[in-house]
């Protein structure tokens, strides 16, 4: 059964520098997801090491942290039916060369180390990432299009 979820989506520094913020937001908006938090942040190394704690020890970890700390990111929380899984499908495969055209990475990226966006991989990791990036909490409001998107 599909459930209403929240997922953490982030435009990485290369996505910001390449002017893809609006494009990525537009895809989530047009799909019908509700934006419940958003900010532009230049994250510290310590913060990024917490975000990617599960990958500590991987050979690409130091390069990943350097890349993610190289400029600001756009941190967002999107809400809707199956937001976590659907968000991952919209992003495409981790390696953009394996991402289908029509996905964000499949349309705009080529290299795994410059794959322009992040999306939570499970409901529990989404909750952890949302708490890490938005300790101040999310924004509560009712969305006028809700009745047109959900039964």
In the chain the beta strands, taken as DSSP E runs, fall at: 4-11, 34-41, 73-81, 117-119
Shortest distance in whole angstroms from residue 35 CB to ligand UDP:
21
Q: How far apart are CA 86 and CA 141, in angstroms?
A: 22
Residues 3-33: b if buried by 16+ CB within 10 A, e if exposed: eebbbbbbbbbbbbeeebbeebbebbeeebb
Closer to Mg ion by Cβ: residue 80 or 119: 119
Site for Mg ion in 91-130 (CB under 5 A): 121
Site for ligand UDP in 120-139 (CB under 6 A): 121
Shortest distance in whole angstroms from residue 57 CB to ligand UDP:
13
CA distances in angstroms from 102 to 34, 91, 111, 119, 145, listed in the order given: 21, 9, 17, 16, 24
Closer to ligand UDP by Cβ: residue 15 or 80: 15
Size of the site for Mg ion (CB under 5 A): 1
At residue 57, the 3 state secondary structure works out as: coil
Q: How far apart are CA 131 and CA 119, in angstroms?
A: 14
**Could you say whether residue 64 binds ligand UDP (CB under 6 A)?**
yes
Size of the site for ligand UDP (CB under 6 A): 9
Give the residue, chosen from 115, 126, 130, 133, that forms a contact with ligand UDP under the rule CB under 6 A. Answer: 115
Cβ–Cβ < 8 Å for 70, 114: no
**Could you say whether residue 60 binds ligand UDP (CB under 6 A)?**
yes
Return the range that interacts with ligand UDP (CB under 6 A); candidates 1-9, 17-25, 108-116, 135-143: 108-116
Question: Does the active-site annotation cover 118?
Answer: yes
Q: Where along the sequence are the contacts to ligand UDP (CB under 6 A)?
A: 55, 60, 64, 94, 112-113, 115, 118, 121
């Amino acid at each position: 059964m599909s459930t209403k979820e929240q997922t953490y989506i982030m435009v990485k520094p290369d996505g910001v520098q390449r002017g893809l913020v609006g494009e990525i937001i537009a895809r989530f908006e047009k799909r019908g997801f509700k934006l419940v938090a958003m900010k532009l942040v230049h994250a510290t190394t310590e913060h990024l090491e917490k975000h990617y704690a599960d990958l500590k020890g991987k050979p690409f970890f130091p390069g990943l942290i350097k890349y993610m700390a190289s400029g600001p990111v756009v941190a967002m929380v999107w809400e809707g039916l199956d937001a976590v899984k659907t968000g991952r499908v919209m992003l495409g495969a981790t390696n953009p060369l394996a991402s289908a055209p029509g996905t964000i990475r499949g349309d705009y990226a080529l290299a795994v180390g410059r794959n322009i966006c992040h999306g939570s991989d499970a409901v529990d990791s989404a909750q952890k990432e949302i708490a890490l990036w938005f300790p101040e909490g999310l924004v509560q409001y009712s969305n006028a299009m809700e009745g047109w998107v959900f039964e």
